[in-house]
Amino acid sequence: MTLLLDQIRAALSAVADPERAPAMQAYMKSAMPYLGVPSVPLRAVCKQVFADLSWDGSAAWQADVLAIWRGAAFREERYCAIELTGIRKARAFQTMAALPMYEEMIVTGAWWDYVDAIAGNRLNLVLKADPTPMKPAMLGWARGDDLWKRRSAILCQLNAKAATDRHFLMACIAPSLGSKEFFLRKGIGWALRQFARTDPDWVRSYVAEHDAALSPLSKREALKHIG
């Protein structure tokens, strides 16, 4: 596992532009430094380093992901950990067994770049695989004290399209309707805006029904492309 992180660090360093690193760190308001690797070469590095990896089960895959995540010295290395959660060979591991790993990454990452990549692109895979236990787990997150777990619950159906469970979406949003937290208000608007691509009439109706409770930011985001 240490070898894998060393390989990632060396490959990232080879394509890094150190002059870009300070601006990237400032933009993300990150305490962790950057190497200066944009997203396209970062994904190419991941494709190269991860090409020959295989696992005999979810626990081994999670061990590799968390070794990179916990051992990261640069923010791009944590982006690579997130990339490793989404590779095709890990598709069978997107079950409730992976939720504690994602929870750790969300809670310790505690910023939108990490959280949105996991919530928007990974939690829905777990939801599709194990809906019966996953829905109550997300409702627990939605009602909890952790800002980023609440946002994750709101966004966990972001890419579900026609498979979106409307009642579940409303239930995940409801505990945060009165919140003044920017990232919750923005998350509500984003979840609704994304679903408006599939069912604009439902989103218009939801916004009208909850007009008094929704923040102006949430309403503006929800109706951004549908008026």
List pLDDT tens digits, range 69-115: 999 999 999 999 999 999 999 999 999 999 999 999 999 999 999 99
**Domain with 46 in it:** 1-93
- For residues 33-56, average pLDDT: 97
Domain shared by 110 and 201, yes or no: yes
| Helix, strand and coil in the chain, % to nearest 5 | 70, 0, 30
Whether residue 49 is predicted with pLDDT greater than 90 in this model: the reply is yes
d(CA 50, CA 144): 35
Of 62, 93, 124, which residue sits at a domain end? 93
Is the per-residue pLDDT at 182 higher than 70? yes
Pick from 19, 110, 39, 120: which is nearest to 80 by CA?
A: 39
Q: In which band, very low, low, confident or very high, does the pLDDT at 227 lie, cut at 50, 70 and 90?
A: confident
- pLDDT > 70 fraction of the chain, expressed in percent and rounded: 100
Mean per-residue pLDDT for 20-41? Answer: 97
> Domain holding 176: CATH number?
1.25.10.90
Same domain, 54 and 122: no
Query: What is the count of structural domains for the chain?
Result: 2
- pLDDT tens, position by position, 159-174: 999 999 999 999 999 9
Output DSSP code: residue 94: -
Residues above pLDDT 90, as percent of the chain:
98
The burial class, CB within 10 Å (0-12 / 13-18 / 19+), for 90 is buried
208 pLDDT band (50/70/90 cuts)? Answer: very high
Does one domain contain both 168 and 118?
A: yes
Ramachandran region of residue 65, left (φ > 0), alpha (ψ -120 to 50) or beta? alpha
Taking 90 as the threshold, does the pLDDT of residue 1 lie above it? no
- pTM score, two decimals? 0.96
Which positions ≥6 away from 10 have C-beta within 8 Å? none
The verdict on 53 and 125 lying in the same domain is: no
Mean pLDDT of the region 117-129 = 97
pLDDT attached to residue 113: 97
Is the backbone of residue 36 left (phi > 0), alpha (psi -120 to 50) or beta? left
Q: How many CB atoms lie within 10 A of CB 11?
A: 19
